[in-house]
Amino acid sequence: MGLLTGLKASITRATDRLFSEEDPKRIGIYGPPNAGKTTLANRIARDWTGDAIGPESHVPHETRRARRKENVEIERNGKSVTIDIVDTPGVTTKVDYEEFLEFDIEEEDAVRRSREATEGVAEAMHWLREDVDGVIYVLDSTEDPFTQVNTMLVGIIESRDLPVLIFGNKIDLEESNIQRVSSAFPQHETVPLSALEGENMDEVYDKIAEYFG
């Protein structure tokens, strides 16, 4: 059974979840590898708590287990929302150990990383199925968003009727094409940003407070 087939099989039902007025909303940060999920998670956490969530890296699949930062309170325009940020591994159809060899990683370590990354994808899907109240979906605006994984994941999010924000990251790069991202999923608003440079974070926080508050 392929990884993508297994991911589809793991989503066995669509459930509705109502937000509690008392508990923090569990907001999962999803998207493909190297879209900037951890960079965004760290920026949000640092801006509102002073602490980062995890290490950032240009090596793919550096986040191989979900990381969680609890009780992040965001206040914008008179609205306040408290969220638990869940930074998830990048979801892909296949994790090949040879991807790591390109970064001068020894083969034994590369094989271990690929195994952990594959397990991390399954864990991310469990979170999506059971343990998140909303989703921030991060896409690299320099890459083509029309992929099987992106379409599948957005479909799963919609089937659960979860509030979702799509963030087109890396607008600081010359190759960025936000229109291509917004055209891929026109049913959802796309917010442009650069998590690395901190560009347009005011709108990011406005939308988080609006969608998840």
pLDDT digits (tens, 9 = 90+) for 6-34: 554 444 333 333 444 557 899 999 998 88
Structure tokens at 3: 């990884």
**Domain for residue 11, yes or no?**
no
Specify the pLDDT at position 190.
Answer: 96
Specify the pLDDT at position 181.
Answer: 96
DSSP for the chain, written as a single string: --HHHHHHHH-------PPPSSSPEEEEEE-STTSSHHHHHHHHHHHHHS---S---SSTT---S-EEEEEEEEEETTEEEEEEEEE-PPP-S---THHHHTTT--HHHHHHHHHHHHHHHHHHHHIIIII-SEEEEEEETTS----HHHHHHHHHHHHTT--EEEEEE-TTSTT--HHHHHHHSTTS-EEE-BTTTTBTHHHHHHHHHHHH-
**Domain for residue 20, yes or no?**
no
Specify the pLDDT at position 97.
Answer: 63
What are residue 69's DSSP bridge partners?
Answer: 85
Find all residues with CB under 8 Å of 29, minimum gap 6, and list them.
Answer: 37, 40, 41, 85, 86, 87, 88, 135, 136, 138
**CATH at residue 163:** 3.40.50.300
- Whether 56 has a pLDDT exceeding 90, the answer reads no
| Per-residue confidence band for 89, with pLDDT thresholds at 50, 70 and 90 | confident
Measured distance CA(149)–CA(137) in Å, rounded: 12
**Domain for residue 83, yes or no?**
yes
Specify the pLDDT at position 78.
Answer: 83
**Domain for residue 187, yes or no?**
yes
Specify the pLDDT at position 122.
Answer: 73
Domain count for the chain, please give it: 1
Q: What is the mean pLDDT of residues 180-205?
A: 96
Tens of pLDDT, residue by residue over 172-192, are 999 999 999 999 999 999 999
Average pLDDT score, the chain: 82
Tens of pLDDT, residue by residue over 110-156, are 777 777 777 776 777 776 777 789 999 999 999 999 999 899 899 98
Specify the pLDDT at position 109.
Answer: 76
**Domain for residue 8, yes or no?**
no
Structure tokens at 26: 């569990």
**Domain for residue 1, yes or no?**
no
**Domain for residue 158, yes or no?**
yes
If phi > 0 it is left, if psi is from -120 to 50 it is alpha, else beta; for residue 102 that is: alpha
Domain membership of residue 31 as a residue range:
25-212
Find all residues with CB under 8 Å of 61, minimum gap 6, and list them.
Answer: 33, 89, 90, 95, 99, 100, 113, 114, 117, 120
Specify the pLDDT at position 102.
Answer: 72
pTM of the model: 0.79
